[in-house]
Each structure stands twice: as C-alpha cells, then as structure tokens.
Chains A and B, each alone.
Chain A
C-alpha cells in the first residue's frame, strides 16, 4: 500500500483538554479510509488536523508530525493555501455559499488565481460532472445554490471541493444530513472518486463504512485503537473494544 499521509505521534489539546493521544497511522493513496468511533472520540478533530482547519480553534496545541507526501504540513514555512488546495474538505452540513451555482464552483479556482472565463467554464462543467450533478443543474448555473435540495447542495459542495483538483478529499459525516437516496448517490460518487482522489471520511454508519471504505480506523476516547483493511476489521477485529463497537455492544 502506497501511503499519501503519514501521521506520527500526533497529540492534540484544546486548552488543557487532551483530545488526541499519540496517533500514528499511514493513510493509503487512492483508497477510501473510514474513521469510525463513538461521538466525541476525536474523529472530526483528527480529520481537521489533516488540512489544518484546527488552526482556527483558539487555544489548540499540536505535537507530532503530519506528513503529506513526505512534507511536514505543520512546518511554519508551509503555505496553508497550497495545502488546502491539495487537501479539500466537505463538511457535515451542506454549506454552499449564498451565491450562484457557478460562482460556488468557481470559488476555489478563483482563490488560486484562475480568472479566464473559458477556463472557469470548463472547470465548472468538469467538476459538476465529477460530482454527478451536472445534468441536474446545467440549465440553472446562474441560480442561487441555496435553492437546491440538501442532497444536491452537498454534491455542489463536493464539486466545489473538486474544482481545485485536490489530491485528498476529507469528508466529515457528509451524508448524515441527507436522505437515503442522496446518501447512496454520494456513496457511489465516493467510489468513483477514489480512482483519482484519496478519500478520508468520518462516518457513524457502520453499513456505510463496510459498503464503501477500503480501510478503517477505529477511535476511542482520543486513541486510535485499530487500523486495518475494512473487511478484515469487520470480520475479525483484533481488539476487543473494536469488536464491541462494531457489533453495537458499546458506543
């Protein structure tokens, strides 16, 4: 397995509250990795250390290394804009900006300096196609994105993230606010995306983890208990606590 991110002895505190304990793991390239674990165990926190969205939290302290293709992303000289161009993020609740569908998708490319209308048009079309929503919105690109349904909005957010051609897509429970049909659309999409991208997703839904992830990481109270191929973890968990959680006896 080729790894794209290597996390070494990662510890994280919010103020005095230690939330991540000495996490070491390598995340595989072009695979879907699911992060599972009970509420409050630090999944979102871990995910946000990968694109440095934790920088926004006041009083956060981080030790250890997070390497992206061998490069330390917490190096003070590192350009966060560059990092976030390569590591995109989709949030739990769809959060398209209150602007047109087109401007939503073109937002990232514009941040990174693309202004040519021809180029932007092409990017918008390609991203919307990649996010499997092109046919639904191609006639209303100039309409506000907030006029779409929740499932459509989430796919707009995925398209927005894809528009800057990231390497990695982080998804934090990105289907939890959606109906089953939208959810399965986004799951299919994730399976499609892993050909080109690496997907790291937080999910509370064990079936979803089994259905689409290749690797799975189980967190408990800030510890990474187990990391393994999903089928192996679910068929023969190595740790008793993992077994209790995935069989529903705890959590």
Chain B
C-alpha cells in the first residue's frame, strides 16, 4: 500500500515536471521560430532592397551606357554628352590622394606603433584618428575649402580635392596600418633584433613585409572611398566637365564621376547620364570591395 502511494506521488511529480518542461520547451521553440523568422525576414528584405536598387539603377543606366559616352566629353556646341573627363578626373584624384596619403599614413603608423615612447600621446592620437573616421564627409569638404582654397589660395581642382580626401583618408590608412603592424608576432621582432638588426632594419625586413596584407587591403578600401566620395569634393574640385591633362587638372575645375553625377542630375536634368554614371560607380566600388576581400585572403595565405 505504502509503496503504491509513494509510487503514485512520484509518478505525479514526474508528470508535473514533464508538463512544466514541455511548456517551457514549447515557449522556447516558439521564441526560436520567431527569432529565426525575424532574422530571415530582415535578411530577405535587405537582399530585395539591394536587388531592387541595383536592378533599377542598371535598368535606367545601361541604355545610356555606350562607348561614345565613355570616350568623349560633353559639349553644347557639338551636342555631345560624354564622361571621359570625369573618369580621368577620378583617376587623377586617386593618384593625388594616394601618393600623398600612403607615405604620410604608413610613416605615421610606423612611428606611432614602433617608435613613439610617449604612450599617453600615442593613445591620444589614436583616439583622435578614431574620432576623425566618424566625421561626416561634408564637413571635411567644408574644412578643405576653407583651408586649401581660401587660406592657401589653391584653385578649385584635383589638388584641392585630393588634399581634402587626404585629410579624410589619412586616419583610415593610419588605423589599418597600425592594426596590421600590431599583428606581427613579437617573436619575429625579437628574432631579428637578436641577430643584431637595427630597429629600422627589423621594421623593413620583418615587420612591414608581414603587415603588407593589411596595408594593401586598407589601400584598396581607401581607393573605394575616393571613388565613391562626393560630399567632401563638392566644394573643392569644381564642376568642370572639360577634359584636362593631369597637371592642368590639378588647379582647374574638374568634376569627378560623383560630382558629375550630381551636376548631370540636378543642374542639367540629364538623369539618364546620371544613372549611367551610377552604374559605373556601383560596379567600380563593388569590384574594389571584392578586390579588397580577395587580397586580404590571398595575402594571408602566402
């Protein structure tokens, strides 16, 4: 009798706990399903948005894309529309900005991570570079205009625009370079110094070669930013749509692709050309992003 009772109680207790268990389980599965659905939903929405955006831009832009457009310049007299000058200007500004920013940025990063003894100062500079990366680019544009054009008297053009971009990209290059310098194992540095290397020899032979992947990736991403940047350039490069050689372009009004897009879309009402430029810009930035990913992977492997 007693045994039976105990058994009965035990069974009941077991039952109750099983019920409680299954209730909490089902609540959890419900929650899981909900969360999964939400995640999938937003993922699909994002993809759809991207597909729609790209589809729409390509749909509107591709009909206007032609060899003619890419190889000629706009002229009211001859009634032609072409974006060759803007393609060239974008190339020029990449060259100007990168030629200045690379030695500056890599040099600064090497100095900060390898030489600077004042740790407080270094962390202050690191904080400043971090803060700079978050500033809206239109503010760089404004600062560039005041500094280079009004104060230094540089004429609107590729040089003033390039210098403005340098201000904007310098923190990025410094940061990515610093990050990759820091990943070089201490064992390599010690090994090199123990062989009698000077500090600079060590940096040149074991530190920089092992940081090159990060530096290259940072460069490609920076080129991507240059290609896509518009706000920082609106006040500094000018709206010029005429073809110039590199040295003339430095100090004459020269719209890059992004600025030209703005000019065609808002000032001239030529939305077709604007969409064609958009197609080019999107393809270029996409390619640069893929290149950055590939280079990061490939250089890591070798």
Among B185, B195, B201, B209, point to the contact of A84 (Cβ < 8 A): B195
Asked whether, in the complex, the Cβ of B192 is within 8 Å of the Cβ of A97, the reply is yes
Among A85, A91, A157, point to the contact of B196 (Cβ < 8 A): A85
Check: B194 CB closer than 8 A to any chain A CB: yes
Among B188, B196, B209, B210, point to the contact of A95 (Cβ < 8 A): B188
Asked whether, in the complex, the Cβ of A112 is within 8 Å of the Cβ of B193, the reply is no
Check: A81 CB closer than 8 A to any chain B CB: yes
User: Shortest distance in angstroms between A72's beta carbon and chain B's nearest beta carbon?
Assistant: 18
Asked whether, in the complex, the Cβ of A84 is within 8 Å of the Cβ of B191, the reply is no
Check: A107 CB closer than 8 A to any chain B CB: yes
Instruction: Determine the chain A residues whose CB is within 8 A of the CB of B196 once the complex forms.
Output: 80-85, 108, 111-112, 164
Complex CA–CA separation, A124 to B11 (angstroms): 80
Check: A56 CB closer than 8 A to any chain B CB: yes
Asked whether, in the complex, the Cβ of A51 is within 8 Å of the Cβ of B192, the reply is no
A97-B206, A107-B205 known; A81-B191 Cβ under 8 A: no
Complex CA–CA separation, A89 to B191 (angstroms): 8
Q: How would you classify the secondary structure of chain B's contact residues: helix, strand, loop or mixed?
A: helix
Considering only CB atoms, which chain B residue lies closest to A144 in the complex?
A: B302
Check: B198 CB closer than 8 A to any chain A CB: yes
Interface string of B165-196 (1 = CB under 8 A from A): 00000000000000000000101101111111
Check: B197 CB closer than 8 A to any chain A CB: yes
Check: A155 CB closer than 8 A to any chain B CB: no
Considering only CB atoms, which chain A residue lies closest to B202 in the complex?
A: A111
Instruction: Determine the chain A residues whose CB is within 8 A of the CB of B194 once the complex forms.
Output: 51, 53, 84, 88-89, 91, 161
User: Shortest distance in angstroms between A176's beta carbon and chain B's nearest beta carbon?
Assistant: 15
Asked whether, in the complex, the Cβ of B191 is within 8 Å of the Cβ of A97, the reply is yes
Complex CA–CA separation, A78 to B206 (angstroms): 25
Check: A93 CB closer than 8 A to any chain B CB: yes
User: Shortest distance in angstroms between A92's beta carbon and chain B's nearest beta carbon?
Assistant: 9
Considering only CB atoms, which chain A residue lies closest to B205 in the complex?
A: A107
Asked whether, in the complex, the Cβ of A157 is within 8 Å of the Cβ of B191, the reply is yes
Considering only CB atoms, which chain A residue lies closest to B188 in the complex?
A: A97
Complex CA–CA separation, A93 to B191 (angstroms): 11
Interface string of B200-242 (1 = CB under 8 A from A): 0100011001100000000000000000000000000000000
Among A91, A111, A157, point to the contact of B197 (Cβ < 8 A): A111
Complex CA–CA separation, A82 to B188 (angstroms): 20
Considering only CB atoms, which chain B residue lies closest to A82 in the complex?
A: B196
Asked whether, in the complex, the Cβ of A91 is within 8 Å of the Cβ of B205, the reply is no
User: Shortest distance in angstroms between A127's beta carbon and chain B's nearest beta carbon?
Assistant: 12
Complex CA–CA separation, A84 to B187 (angstroms): 16
Check: A160 CB closer than 8 A to any chain B CB: yes
Complex CA–CA separation, A96 to B185 (angstroms): 11
Complex CA–CA separation, A26 to B195 (angstroms): 24
Among A89, A96, A98, A164, point to the contact of B210 (Cβ < 8 A): A98
Instruction: Determine the chain A residues whose CB is within 8 A of the CB of B191 once the complex forms.
Output: 91, 95-97, 157, 160
Instruction: Determine the chain A residues whose CB is within 8 A of the CB of B201 once the complex forms.
Output: 111
Among A95, A111, A112, point to the contact of B190 (Cβ < 8 A): A95
Within 8 A of B (CB), among A88-125: 88-89, 91, 93, 95-99, 107-108, 111-112
Complex CA–CA separation, A211 to B113 (angstroms): 44
Instruction: Determine the chain B residues whose CB is within 8 A of the CB of A111 once the complex forms.
Output: 195-197, 201
Asked whether, in the complex, the Cβ of B193 is within 8 Å of the Cβ of A56, the reply is yes
Instruction: Determine the chain B residues whose CB is within 8 A of the CB of A91 once the complex forms.
Output: 187, 190-191, 194
User: Shortest distance in angstroms between A153's beta carbon and chain B's nearest beta carbon?
Assistant: 11
User: Which 7 A-B pairs have CB atoms at the shortest separation, nearest pair first?
Assistant: A84-B196, A95-B187, A81-B196, A89-B194, A108-B195, A95-B191, A85-B196
Q: 30 interchain pairs (CB within 8 A)?
A: A51-B194, A53-B190, A53-B193, A53-B194, A81-B196, A82-B196, A83-B196, A84-B193, A84-B194, A84-B195, A85-B196, A88-B194, A91-B190, A91-B191, A95-B187, A95-B190, A95-B191, A97-B188, A97-B205, A97-B206, A98-B188, A98-B209, A99-B209, A107-B205, A108-B195, A111-B196, A111-B201, A157-B191, A160-B191, A164-B196
Q: Hey, which bits of chain B sit against chain A, CB under 8 A?
A: 185, 187-188, 190-198, 201, 205-206, 209-210
Other than the given A83-B196, A91-B187, A95-B190, 20 more pairs (CB < 8 A) read A53-B194, A56-B190, A82-B196, A84-B194, A84-B196, A85-B196, A88-B195, A91-B190, A95-B185, A95-B187, A95-B188, A96-B191, A97-B191, A97-B206, A98-B188, A112-B196, A157-B191, A161-B194, A161-B195, A164-B195
